[in-house]
Each structure stands twice: as structure tokens, then as C-alpha cells.
Structure 1
């Protein structure tokens, strides 16, 4: 089965633009793009409107590495991450009966977006996100209990986008923003 060709006239979104900026920054850090070339391409990426124009701005860069998913799992017991831990671009958390606590408030987040997939049976889960993070949960299904999340009042833009998806059976998910 062959893939359908991408519509190069389709408009780009913020995620596409953020990904392109990150790719340019990585290419500059690796020495593949000069300082002047970086400035020129960043201007181009920030002003283009379509996928075709974006593709031409990134034409000579190496292909983007496929996103790999890191998995944290436990049949029972606790899963806990806090402090200055490195958050992968895509994280899957699997727990049948335990508690899960992910504290991203002091974690090293190198990506503009982080995808967290929860596969939880019973037990509670708590996720603490950075103060300026944007939380999305449209792809999360819950069984018995609901999700407790209150977006902050007047949050500053510019933080990472935390996308939470997956399925929860009988536990409750609590998401809160760090106070500092």
C-alpha cells in the first residue's frame, strides 16, 4: 500500500511551525546551518503559510528522526518521577493496580510538545505540569471516575504543550500546575 501524497497547498499550524523551528535549531547546533542561514530560514519558517513553502525552507536538512516512545510500567506498586528528570517527547505509562505520580515541574523538557499516554487499570494518577504549560486531554477516556483539572487563571503563553491520551479504568486522574 502506498502513502497518499501530502497536500502541499494545505495551511500549516502552530505545531508544524514549532517543529520546523526546532529542526532548524538542531541543525544549527550540529553545525549543518550557518548563523546567517539560520536567521534566513527562521524568518522564512515564521512567515510561510503552506506545507509546500515550509518544505522548501527545510529542504536541505536531514530527515527528522522518528519519535520513539519511552515506556514506564508496573503491574502494581507506585510509579513516581520527580525532580530534574529528562522527559521524552513521547511517554507511555502503564499500571494495572498502582499509583502514578509524574512531576514535570522541575523536569528537563526539551520539546515544545510532550505526549503522555496513560494505560491505567485502577489506582490514582497525579500529574504536576509546569506553571506555563498548556494541557490537552481530548484523547483520554475514563471509566469509573473523572479527571480533576482546573486550568490556571491568566497563564503565560510559551510553555510546553502537554497532550494526555489513553485510557483509565477505575482510578482518578488529577492534573495541577506547579505553583512556582
Structure 2
């Protein structure tokens, strides 16, 4: 992500990442009750149409500095790693399988970013990604190699749903993307 727009030269053009950072801060403020829904709608419209940092800065200056989330880094190492259950999805995730595998289950995760970059490196153990129905998975930037990619999702998801953009490489372990299986769906029903 970029730096706080209020610290940048006002005439400098704003990027999509700059606008998205402001949108996320506004959504957080609404979730915390610092601004109401009507004000959120107004500010979101202004943020999405902003062309410069000077147009973005006033939208969040009364809310404090833009907090940029650190990327989530998972390293499979020898024993593997996973993230599942209820967790907050950051805009950037890096997963390195190593000899053990990595599993990322987004089924119960809270995902506020509209687009999540997931940099994967399948290495020896491979990476399993479980996404809810309706999510879009884009893998055109993923470097395919020995392990390959198995994408068992339907492709294009529901409008307004998160987009998971895969980058990195499959390596020997490969990368698998799928929806929750029968056992996982049953477990979800039991937790509700």
C-alpha cells in the first residue's frame, strides 16, 4: 500500500491503491460508529472519484492516519501452516509451502478488501486455498510449473464479492483452489 495521502503532495495523482486505502479507512470508521451510513456513502463516492491526493486527504483527516495492514505471511516449513476459522483478511498474503503444506481457508474469514493479492510459492508441500461460493479467483499472473494449478471454482464470482488474485509460482507442490467440501460444509452448518 501507499503512504498516508495527507502527507503526499496534494497535486499528485492518486492511484487505485490510494483510493482503496481511504475506502477501507472509511469502512472501518463506519464499523466503529465514528461516521454514520449516510456520511459513509457520501465520502465513499468522493473517494472513488478522487483524482489527486488533495481530494482524498480531507475525507479521512478527521479519522486519524491511514493504517496500512501488514501482509500476512505463512511459511509451511517442515510441519505445515494454516489459517482457518474466523480471521480478518489483509489486502496482501504471502504463502510459502516449504516441505510442509499451507492451507488458507477463507470460508469464515472477514474480508473487507475488494481485492486480495495472494502470493503463493507451492515449493514441495503445496498450497490449498478454500474460498466461499461467489468469490472470484484470478490466476492469470500465476507462474505454472511442475506442480501446476488445480482451480475447482466456477471462475467468475458474484458481483461485489471479493476477488482473490493469485501471483507467485506453483513449484513442485502445486496450488489447489476449491470451494468447501462436504465435510467442511457440514462443519459450517454445525457452527451456525
> What residue in structure 2 maps to residue 76 of structure 1?
78
> What residue in structure 2 maps to residue 100 of structure 1?
102
Of 120, 123, 127, 1:121 maps to: 123
TM-score using structure 2 length: 0.68
In structure 2, the gaps of 5 or more residues are: 1-7, 186-192
* Pair 35,153 (structure 1): closer, same or farther in 2 beyond 3 Å: closer
User: 2-side partners of 1:11 and 1:89: how far apart?
Assistant: 18
User: 2-side partners of 1:17 and 1:164: how far apart?
Assistant: 22
Asked whether 1:131 is paired with 2:133, we answer yes
Give CA deviations for 1:94-124 in whole Å, capped at 9, x if unaligned. 2221222222122232433333222332133
**1:8, CA displacement in angstroms?**
4.7
> What residue in structure 2 maps to residue 165 of structure 1?
167
**1:163, CA displacement in angstroms?**
2.2
**1:42, CA displacement in angstroms?**
3.0
Greater helix proportion: 2
- Number of residue pairs matched? 175
User: 1-side partners of 2:151 and 2:106: how far apart?
Assistant: 15
Give CA deviations for 1:58-90 in whole Å, capped at 9, x if unaligned. 454422112212222232233333333443433
> What residue in structure 2 maps to residue 50 of structure 1?
51
User: 1-side partners of 2:176 and 2:37: how far apart?
Assistant: 44
Q: CA RMSD in A?
A: 3.4
Contact 1:127–1:176 at 8 Å: present in 2 too?
yes
* Pair 19,151 (structure 1): closer, same or farther in 2 beyond 3 Å: farther
Greater strand proportion: 1
> What residue in structure 2 maps to residue 176 of structure 1?
178
* Pair 148,34 (structure 1): closer, same or farther in 2 beyond 3 Å: closer
